[in-house]
Amino acid sequence: MAVGASAVAVSHGDAAVKHSWVSVPEGWVDVGAPPADYTIDLKIGLKQGGFEDLISVLHEISDPFHTKYGQHLSKREVEEFAAPHESTHAAVNGWLLANGVDISSVHYSQAKDWLALSVPVSTVEYMLSASYRTYQHGSTGEQVVRTLSYSLPRELHAHIDLVHPTTMFDRMKAMRATYMLDAALPATGTIEGSTVKGPAGQDIPLSCNTTVTPACLQALYRTAGYTPQAADKGNKIGVAGWSKYGRGLLPCPYYVNFADLQSFFTQFRPDAVGTNVTVVSVDGGLNDQSLPGVEADLDVQYTEGLTYPTPNYYYSTPGTAPTINDSVTPPQRDEPYLDWLSYILTLPDDELPQAFTTSYGGDEQTFPYEWAVRVCGMFAQLSARGSSVMFSSGDGGVGAGTCQTNDGTNRTIFQPVFPATCPYITGVGATYQIAPEKGVYFSQGGFSRYFERPVWQAAAVPPFLAKLGSTYAGLYYPAGRAVPDVSAQGYGFQVVVAGEVESVGGTSASSPTFASIVALLNDYRIANGRPSLGWLNPLLYTIGVSGFTDILLGNNPGCGTPGFNATEGWDAITGLGTPDFVKLKELFGSI
């Protein structure tokens, strides 16, 4: 629709709650009202007119048995599906006008499905029947201005998916279990000789059993000897990173350090010395070279180390910053997935990476349901354009901490991590050792309570549930989307940080590793005139199963339980298993 279409008056009365919390989310404390002149940068997600049709098309182009497989959509086509109906714009414009908002001050996304405006907090409170307060997190010192409840006129519930910032308390965290060398998990058993045999009979240095380098991963997952051919044909890999602010309002160092990258290449990938990652600032994201970050260094050193000379892009997006700004403090940034996705979806088709990895997330229950569903839909839009999106599955086993519900009942339940639970994302769990490879204790897995089990998991997941029987009944939702989908090594990664080698562990290591394998598969396909793989999950759970090494050992304790066990077939600690590049290249190379 034309944004300037005539507005329809919407009554402020007859409001109904859109979302609310029964109490202040765990870890946050009310520290008072925001200043009277505080301005909120409001984002409103409008109902997308053709979203269901987009999902239908996405399933067709991602089904390896469908005639439309691989026919990814263009940016323009995705935006046409996302565009709201004219009636939605008319209703929302009427509501804004009724609340004294100058329509000319509203900014729209390219698909016109998001609108943004700066509004005084008093106006927002009236519009949303809300009461905004300043909340501070006890362990980090982060401050956010939020409300515990907001409402919309009933008529607008059919036109607005969510309003932000409202009830979203951002606690996005990097998925990193530890990065201390002396915390490395010990290898079990005694192994003779200087090499061990991998699952395909390949020789792998014995040191890889506890100390992981690019060469170890190349040998284990059989990418050794493959030379990327499509670096000049558009193949790319992207890493999403966020800078956060902690206690004392100091930035947590999640920045890529170029000197560390060159030192890493010198030690572990000499032929790549002189190559660099391209850092892209999203909405003012920084990359301070005086603040090298373990997470950022890990991500780019291993994506570069495994995919060289494939172009690598690191997207630096601000995380949550202090609420009250001053001359030395950056402006507040709200939940960054929205900022990052909004930016990525504007990229021209020839600039969009075909594989992404992200090592961040949080307990699914801490995200408002409507918010999680809308953001998951944005990942679907990205997938429809031919990008494969990988996320770490989490580092809490079946759940860290008390594992209590936040709905006021304080029941104990297992805690899967979002966004990994989004069906349009490939969740990556973690393994360790190579003789044999095992699921590592922190590898988070389980079942979503927000998203139902997709059809492509219909064959893989029920056998696992059958083996589980009544064990943990009531602690998880067996009909939910199951995670992780796959796994990769996640412990003992040698990373250069501030010039020194540290040993890093977590699904933070697994996701960039698996994403790098996907980037190499895309390289092979693109070099041979085929499209990128795009949304992976329907492919992985069908013809892809035989391209994975099934992991049969390990469990992921949490919530006062031993957690789930690795077992034959899909399991909720290692998914389908770990990749065999040679087999996957044969399976995926010609479809």
Interatomic CA distance for residues 360 and 428, integer angstroms: 12
Catalytic residue among 109, 508, 510, 516: 508
Distances (CA, A) of 63 to 184, 383, 485, 537, 540: 40, 13, 16, 9, 10
Which amino acids are annotated as binding site for Ca(2+), given as ranges? Answer: 550-551, 569, 571
Cis ω for the linkage preceding 84 (within 30 of 0): no
In the set 295, 297, 304, 334, the catalytic residue is 295
Residues 405, 519: contact at Cβ < 8 Å? Answer: no
Outline where DSSP puts E strands in 278-403.
Answer: 278-281, 312-318, 355-358, 360-363, 388-392
Cα distance between residue 449 and residue 421, in whole Å: 9
What are 141's two structure tokens?
């010192």
Out of 113, 161, 297, 299, pick the active-site residue. Answer: 299
Q: Is 348 helix (H, G, I), strand (E, B) or coil?
A: coil
State the burial class of residue 486 (Cβ atoms within 10 Å of its Cβ: 0-12, 13-18, 19+). buried
Q: Where are the beta strands (DSSP E) in 307-424?
A: 312-318, 355-358, 360-363, 388-392, 417-418
Minimal CA–CA distance to 382: which of 337, 427, 421? Answer: 337
Q: Running DSSP on this structure, what letter comes out for residue 571?
A: B
Tell me which residue of 476, 434, 480 sits closest to 457, measured CA to CA: 480
Instruction: Please tell me the total number of residues recorded for the chain in this structure.
Output: 591
Binding-site residues sit at 550-551, 569, 571
* C-alpha neighbours within 13 Å on the C-beta side of residue 23: 10
Per-residue b or e along 149-161, where b marks 16 or more CB atoms closer than 10 Å to that residue's CB? bbbbbebbbebbb
CA distances from 140 to 167, 194, 244, 246, 333 (A): 19, 45, 10, 5, 16
Residue with token string 């046409």: 80
Please identify which residue in the block is written with the tokens 């769990």. Answer: 429
- Asked if 299 is an active-site residue, the reply is yes
Q: What SS3 class is residue 483?
A: strand
Say if CB 383 and CB 422 are below 8 A apart. no
Which residues make Cβ contacts (< 8 Å) with residue 154, sequence separation at least 6? 14, 15, 16
- For residues 15 and 273, give the distance between their C-alpha atoms in angstroms, rounded to a whole number: 61
Is there a catalytic annotation at residue 508? Answer: yes
Residue 129 tokens read as 């029947």
> Does residue 532 carry a catalytic annotation?
no
**Catalytic residue numbers?**
295, 299, 508
